[in-house]
Amino acid sequence: MSDYIFPPALQASVAVRGTGARYAVSRIFCVGRNYAAHAREMGSDPDREPPFYFCKPASALLASGGSMAYSPGTKNLHYEMELVLALGAPVFKATAEQGLAAIWGYAAGLDMTRRDLQNEAKATGRPWDFGKAFEQSAVISELVPASEIGHPAAGAITLAVNGMQKQRGDLADMIWSPAEIVANLSQYYHLGPGDLIYTGTPEGVGPVQPGDQLEGVVAGVAKLSLTIGAPE
């Protein structure tokens, strides 16, 4: 058995609803601008351009119901409510049909974003890492197996801050469906169990402040909640 200089990091994982089991996470992929109205509010043309992706580390996961410290380095921390896919089978260079079959389960998620840092990166042509890939930036509910709820193709996705609705869209408004996303991403990666995919957010993204209470719902899938704490 190998000896480690330091103890290895704990395995990132997500709870599975109704069981004591957990889903081990290796990678988190996120789809950018997958709802037309959100693409427009961010200044882009949503005319079914090929999907693009960014990544968050698995260590960025934060379970629903928790509190996240207001993130360092930003003065403009934003919420983005999303449907999350969890893969359960190996898939590579797949068709949409194969991509759908590889989806094991679903969750509600928040892609927390340091918008000012993201915008600075966009303006200078630099990567988005500082704006997207930071601690506690991938909030997630319990996973729900597709065997229990099927593969949702429509349904409301909403986010409220302090009881006031800020985001409302419908899964049917996605530019690229979950099956198409998995198929497209699989042209570039060997995907499989352990991969989560955040599928994009509807319009209405905006800032949060310490003390804010966030409540999100993906109809027919899951709910989540988050408290914004003070800066560290």
Where along the chain do its domains lie? 13-229
Please state the pTM of the whole predicted model: 0.94
Encode pLDDT of 51-80 as tens digits: 889 999 999 999 999 999 999 999 999 999
- Residue at 41: amino acid letter: E
Give per-residue burial for 31-57: e unless 16+ CB within 10 Å, then b: bbbbbbebbeebeeeeeeeebeebebb
Q: What confidence score (pLDDT) does residue 47 get? A: 65
Both structure tokens of 224: 């989540």
Top-level CATH class of 13-229?
A: alpha beta
Q: What confidence score (pLDDT) does residue 37 get? A: 65
Q: Among residues 182, 4, 8, 195, which one has the least CA distance to residue 96? A: 182
pLDDT tier at 33, thresholds 50, 70, 90: confident
Q: State whether residue 28 is helix, strand or coil.
A: strand
